[in-house]
Amino acid sequence: MLRLEPRPAPSRLMSLLSPLLALAATVVIGVALFALLGKDPARGLGMFFVEPFRGAYAVSELCVKATPLMLIGLGLAVCYRANVWNIGAEGQFVLGAIAATGVALRATPDTGHWIVVSILLAGVAGGMAWAAIVAFLRERANANEILVSLMLVYVAVQLLNYLVYGTWKDPEGYNFPQTITFLDATKIPRLFTGLRVNIGFVLALLSVGAFWLYLFRAFGGFRMQVGGLAAAAARYAGFSSRRALWTALLVSGGMSGLAGALEVAGPVGQLTPYVPAGYGFAAIIVAFVGRLHPVGILFSSLLMSLFYIGGELAQSRLGLPKSLTGVFQGLLLFSLLASDTLIHYRVRWRPAHPAHPATAAKGPAA
């Protein structure tokens, strides 16, 4: 029989291999899923792992999808390392998009490209303000940040609907719930002509390096993690758990808000009810698959963007439901949770009916 035995110490090797095992398990289950749906498994997997790399435009779209996942995942990694469970990054993403739109709508034909900086800063401020509500209620009322941040997502979505269906609705938009298309001066500059990838992807890559320095080479990052994980030890060392809470949530909210600003002023070009695309929730998986490490988040965000693009291709070319994207995301998460068991436990083979010690001592009959 196969049994799990506790390891004397957590396995560092399995900590590194666990995401790869989870990905392999996701692929195997995906093959079975395509077969059950009556589709060619090879073609189905090709939609997820081959097509997104075919051509410059496909790679560009991969980077477009990975940008918000990477930014939000980095902010969530800071929160989770500080033992602050922010589940409401989606709401902070929406508030960042709303705040950025508020600045973009004030632009005129004479406005210069400098307004892009103001749009991005407004997005950061919007996300931080929404996260500050969570920090305030956690500090003052000891409210659970998981519930508060999650409930605020729905408040943010309702605020978005109020604006696009009412105050900010385009009067010449044929009654569609959307704002006017942003002026060219307010749009995020693209990296290449004819491709949608913009400077947001560069900002995301720079953020990976900045967060690595902050978390592992800066005293402030160490202080924040200690303040969140061991409040008593932090107080003894003169660190503030309150500062850790506020720092983690404000950083996470700011990164989510930045992602929202880049989304509306980049590939979308206006505010619509469809801006909440689930990036805030998917980034939770990105953060944990990336082991809460900035470099790991870089690769896991690219992997998750494969699922987004693969789901869209499977819907258009194979006639499968769009929800297949969420299915693969869920499979990856549950496979990771199962694989993480091997970090603290190892598999041992034991006989189902071991011989009795006395019988084994006698040996074979003469």
Q: What is the CATH number of the domain that holds 293?
A: 1.10.3470
Q: Does residue 3 fall inside a structural domain?
A: no
Residue type, 38: G
Q: 187: helix, coil or strand?
A: coil
Q: Could you write out the DSSP letters of every residue in 253-303?
A: HHHHHHHHHHHIIIII-S--TT---SHHHHHHHHHHHTTT-HHHHHHHHHH
pLDDT of residue 323: 85
Bridge partners of 5, per DSSP, are 346
Residue 157 lies in a domain: yes
Per residue in 67-95, pLDDT (tens digit) is 999 999 999 999 999 999 999 999 999 99
CA angle (273 as vertex; 269, 278 as ends), nearest 5: 90
Strand locations in 38-158 (E): none
Q: Which domain holds residue 168?
A: 68-310
Residues of the chain with pLDDT under 50: 366
- For residue 286, is it within any domain? yes
Residue 334 resides in a domain: no
Q: What pLDDT, on a 0 to 100 scale, did the predictor assign at position 355?
A: 58
Angle formed at CA 136 by CA 132 and CA 137, multiple of 5 degrees: 120
How buried is 343 (Cβ within 10 angstroms: 0-12 exposed, 13-18 middle, 19+ buried)? middle
Answer yes or no: are the C-beta atoms of 345 and 7 closer than 8 Å: yes
Kindly state whether residue 217 falls inside one of the protein's structural domains. yes
Closest CA to 134 of 150, 147, 123, 145: 145
Query: Rounded to the nearest 5 degrees, what angle is found at the Cα of 323, between the Cα atoms of 266 and 41?
Result: 110
Residue 239 is predicted with a pLDDT of 83
- Residue at 4 is within a domain: no
- Estimate to the nearest angstrom the gap between the alpha carbon of 225 and the chain centroid: 20
pLDDT for 240 equals 82
Has residue 13 been placed in a domain? no
Domain count, the chain: 1
**For residue 348, what are the β-bridge partners?**
3
3-class SS of residue 3: strand
Residue 360 in any domain: the answer is no
Global pTM value? 0.92
| DSSP state at residue 6 | E
pLDDT of residue 263: 96
What is the reported pLDDT for 366? 43
